[in-house]
Amino acid sequence: MSEELVIDKSLTIEKQYEELIVLIKNFFNATDNAISIMANLTAILKQNIEKISWVGFYLSNGIQLYLGPFQGKAACSFIELGKGVCGSAALSQQTIIVPDVNKFPGHIVCDSDSRSEIVIPLIDDDDKLIGVLDLDSTSLNAFDETDKKYLEIICNYLVEELF
């Protein structure tokens, strides 16, 4: 499979996400290895959504979150449940959109250039926490309800297929 998996940037953001979802679903035909699929998923998001400066998974070991497959600068290895945006989304099991990271109490700084972020929890049918998907941007207000809608579709699909 080519690594040049790019979508048409002239499309509406909704259409771009729909095309991305088709590309992402193709990876599920290639392997059922969760780490491989999550690694390619982060790559395809980073390659195609220009506002993303960092995208990656933090996975649950039952006690805390540990760094999983990601694209971007090196990041912290562990995040405690309830701490930072990732730990808060994991504990509340709700997506969190942060328009300005400097206004989120307890935000964990991994990249000082990051200005906004969105974190989507991965929860299975038994309400068990699998982890979170974290996306950062160097722009303020980078993520909105449209990103939330499509990223939740992607995360739900991932959980249904792999966990």
* Contact positions vs ligand SME (CB under 6 A): 54, 75, 79, 84-86, 107-108, 110, 114, 117, 134, 136
Between residues 79 and 130, which has the closer beta carbon with respect to ligand SME? Answer: 79
CB of 82 to ligand SME, least distance (A): 10
Shortest reach from residue 21's CB to ligand SME, in Å: 23
Least distance (Å) between residue 22 CB and ligand SME: 27
Residue 91 Cβ vs ligand SME, minimum distance, rounded to whole Å: 11
| Cβ distance to ligand SME smaller for residue 134 or 147 | 134
CB of residue 123 to ligand SME, shortest distance in Å: 17
In the bound state, the residue with its beta carbon closest to ligand SME is 84
Among residues 5 and 81, whose Cβ is nearest to ligand SME? Answer: 81
Our CB check for ligand SME shows the closer of 108 and 159 to be 108
Q: Which is nearer to ligand SME, 31 or 92 (CB)?
A: 92
Can you read off the two tokens belonging to residue 124? 């299975």
DSSP structure string for the chain: --S-----TTS-HHHHHHHHHHHHHHHHHH---HHHHHHHHHHHHHHH-TT-SEEEEEEE-SSEEEEEEEESS---SEEETTSHHHHHHHHHTS-EEES-GGGSTT---S-TT--EEEEEEEE-TT--EEEEEEEEESSTT---HHHHHHHHHHHHHHHHHH-
- Positive/negative CA dihedral, 136, 105, 57, 110: positive
